[in-house]
A and B are shown apart, each in its own frame.
Chain A
């Protein structure tokens, strides 16, 4: 069977196909088509189906296609050609502007011309109705059904296309929201009506309202997109089930994605972390830092106990500042997202001098066009790639195994003119300096997902991929005290492979809000059982037998008075004897993250969470991306001087990765080249090829 993953990115749409029977892989890159994203997908599928490769034809009848897209983000960011549906919000009387006031904070402290993100539902379409619950879910003011009917009439006149409902404290008692849903559906047949207690029954009204509104707005867009896409793919002669990658790194059916599109909003970047987790499982490595460095950015993620780490909230379209999203700069969505820290550090990142002679790197990138100066496509600014080239780390003959010629002299000229001469540095100092600066930024990203979350990078393995990842990985590992770096077989398409090795995954949450000591175990068990029934039902609907369903219960806990929670695992079922275990793991986790625990203070249970995984059989990734057809040859293909900070220029052997054998170790300094990446093994490191073809770098 063939698994096909399609990732629609900002610039390129990538198709990766993996034949389980032969281990063969194919990668197709076509330009993305943001105003009609399906077109890029169709283009890729067409090239795959009609392109060369007899073996593929045999398998495509029995294929599955996994899709990751950024259509949600693009829609909210106002992408041309995508129309935001006319949505309405119904909320508790007196609270019409909660959605727009947001957290009352401006996203930039010192910008007098700041803009708040445009409200997703304009004030005129935010309706309020008399009703009120208190924090315990008791009715204070009954729902004014008559008033709601009048609102529904107005919505009909206004031709509202989708409706969100968010009442105060509905997480504690959804009765009013459910009643409102019934009434609205009656008056507006065929119009999606999304209520907050179904989408995200968690406290904090603004974030819940935002999540609900985004879900409501995405439903018409995502469902018509996916339905159209399925049809057009079939039209290309590929008839296979389509699945959607979610932001939590798991799959969902098209049906589920159409119901909860907010859960799929940023799925592309998650794939690399999923691939790392999968390869780690195959290799028996549970703790991994996933590091993906491409042309414009570097992304870091963490895998602990074999599980990609997730955060429970994200701001779509938010501005990133040194790795993290600036609060208030985007639209909050409370669904689990793979925890990613992103910094502007890629091969195309530009080094520049500020007016007072300070050397800076990024955030501007030369991108693919004009690209680094050495590409000879008109780029005049020195980039990270130019610096790597001048220090001997990149083959001066050209990239992609020599297929794409590059010009060291252009790199040299750019670096000399823009950086070295004005600073009075020689070329080597300038180039090495640029690398040190971007490395500091990438170390920051790796720290964010590890140390800042209470995980020690020294006990983790760095999985490095993306076009530029393997070139920088060992230096970052050195800085963080990470003992081992793994460079998978095909670093350039590793991230896309994550699409074809992911499981089904759904997350559920219910606010509890009780003191831990006062928790009624029976009631809590009922909450979990309800979530589990919902989860199992969903996964069964998606075609998974019960034997392949894994359920993980979790609790969000905090010390009473805190307002940020820590998620810990909870046993299933949870008996009295388990309470100590749960509370102990909370104290431990608190200590890991914040350096202390307050054992004597009361603990509060905020949410019950359930993660349900539907395990699918995975292809054996071993050997994915290797070109089996290449005749074997001598692995060492040359040598050249390479510059290493602290060692100076070192004569360095250069190896061709497809020819490396799994026997014997390479001593650093060494360079390993392959079609889509270059691995740098610095002095003090050794590298071996494991049985599966992964390059394993270890610190001596």
Chain B
């Protein structure tokens, strides 16, 4: 059976819209700030073979990991002899299968039409807490996966439409805010149902054979487009390296190395030479590594190419097992899709800059600047836990400055409004402003970092930070200078300032102020060539000291 080009395009549109509709439904009805305000979630549709046919991702770190995760789930179910029925929903968060970290819970719903399995509707959302040793579950110093929360292998959360109370009870007994977890899971179930319904409607209209033939052609079509477009890259081998400055546990840097081999539009990316996995939560499971690769590739591809399995196929990726970018169980991984994914993207761009120098910016701030905090709030009479990531400067670009204070590369979550934070948590914000002089100098300067600080209003709280680029700055490009380093402090109630390491867990008491200062972006081009009018503008705006 072959599908005509018209039907293919109509079905492609309908599926894309369906994935977006799922994303909206999930966001609207979720409970946690992470999903509602920060949009830390993704939705996608797959064919019966587990191939990606449509995806609506809001943060790039889910780009490659969700498809990888769904494929792993299918392999797992087959191996374990678990049979899927109409009305089942599989839940998992095991990073070595699901592809990111334990906080991301993935739900996979098989879609049946006419009694036949035709595909899967899936989504992944960041839950605010999945247990483990610290509020928010993400720590800077876990040494094995089990400290990062409850590990859920692929299990049936719903069986033939019935919620499994056994599974839920185990989960809810292991997390710090079970109501929120439940609310978010409900929203995830509803989103998958919506995607499934749209697929069934399409099957009803076009018939399963036409639908499947269309998917086949959609994938082939995207692959053709991607391969054609990649031919614009000059042939060659492009190598680069960059590092995580420390692991929080050991002082020395951990290196990521890549070689990109381009041959007539065929692109192979190899991470051989990367340092071994670490006993710190910075290991990036292979799904995260894939996400970073697809992100970098998408940034240089024609943006109109429809995203599906075809694009994924255009690039091959290898990473030696047991390394930072493809660790073995039970390596801790919470920060892998936060900090390490940023660095993988940096390394890839550094290599690509050799191939297409006019299309790649200098390094961005290179950290997600993660802050987790929680404790007991005697005024509101409840435990509280929150997680946020803070933007920094983006790298200077050929022809334009970097952008001040924004999320770069692998993340793009919204901030939580200060007025919302103060309504729910015992904190008072002191500052949320750009950090002058942190944009790397260059003909096109890097963007400035951000200072975000708050004072604790409750008797005590535990705070974890997981940040990078506090020792090794974001690199400049084409003669531009590096961006400013991040630096983090606690100002104790008595006025003492204590410098914090980039990664770690600390205790605050009432009146203490946490000060997070995020890195700036690298500069692009020789600073001597900078237009004096731009220098003057930056001075007037107080972004550069005279």
Which positions in A face B, CB cutoff 8 Å? 94-98, 100-101, 103-106, 109-116, 122-124, 132, 134-135, 140, 168-169, 171, 203-206, 322, 327, 354-361, 423, 425, 429-430, 432-434, 436-437, 440-441, 444, 447, 452, 513, 559, 561-564, 590, 593-596, 598, 601
Contact = CB atoms under 8 A, between A and B. Distances in A.
Contacts of A594: 25, 28-29, 187, 190
A51 to B, nearest CB: 45
A596 B186 contact: yes
Nearest to A358: B221
Interface in B382-438: 390-391, 394, 397, 399-400, 403-408, 412-415, 417-420, 422-423, 428-434
B299 A112 contact: yes
A140 B428 contact: yes
Contacts of A97: 404-405, 432-434, 450
B449 to A, nearest CB: 11
B: contact size bracket: 35 or more
Given A95-B433, A354-B304, A562-B36, A203 B228 contact: no
B199 to A, nearest CB: 15
A570 to B, nearest CB: 22
B298 A359 contact: no
Interface in B1-56: 4-6, 8-10, 13-14, 16-17, 20-21, 24-25, 27-33, 36-37
Contacts of A452: 21, 24-25
B471 interface: no
A134 B225 contact: no
B302 to A, nearest CB: 8
Nearest to A361: B9
A104 B228 CA distance: 34
A94 B16 contact: no
A356 B412 contact: no
Contacts of B59: 109
A440 B10 contact: yes
B412 A106 contact: yes
B60 interface: yes
A520 to B, nearest CB: 18
12 contacts: A101-B391, A103-B414, A103-B415, A104-B406, A106-B394, A109-B412, A322-B17, A358-B221, A436-B10, A561-B179, A562-B29, A564-B36
Contacts of A596: 29, 186, 190
Contacts of A95: 418, 429, 431-433
Nearest to B419: A203
Interface of B: 4-6, 8-10, 13-14, 16-17, 20-21, 24-25, 27-33, 36-37, 57-60, 179-180, 183, 186-187, 190, 193-194, 221-222, 224-225, 228-229, 295, 298-299, 303-304, 306, 359-361, 390-391, 394, 397, 399-400, 403-408, 412-415, 417-420, 422-423, 428-434, 450, 540-543
Nearest to A594: B29
Given A116-B406, A444-B13, A98 B432 contact: yes
B273 to A, nearest CB: 26
A124 B13 CA distance: 45
Nearest to B395: A112
Contacts of B295: 110
A444 B17 contact: yes
A356 B228 contact: yes
A634 B462 CA distance: 84
A559 B428 contact: no
A89 to B, nearest CB: 13
Contacts of B28: 564, 593-594
Nearest to B391: A104
Given A116-B406, A594-B25, A432 B6 contact: yes
B359 A359 contact: no
Contact of B9 (A106, A169, A205, A359): A359
A111 B428 CA distance: 35
A564 B25 CA distance: 12
Contacts of B429: 94-95, 168
Nearest to A360: B9
A322 B16 contact: yes
Contacts of A361: 9
A140 B420 CA distance: 17
B9 A358 contact: yes
Contact of A105 (B394, B406, B422): B406
A425 B419 contact: no
A563 B37 contact: yes
B211 to A, nearest CB: 14
Choose among A94, A423, A596 the residue with the greatest number of B CB atoms under 10 Å from its CB. A94
Contact of A106 (B359, B399, B406, B419): B406
Contacts of A100: 404-405, 434
B412 A110 contact: no
A433 B6 CA distance: 5
A359 B13 CA distance: 11
A440 B198 CA distance: 13
Contacts of A123: 434, 541-543
A433 B450 contact: no
Given A105-B407, A204-B420, A429 B6 contact: yes
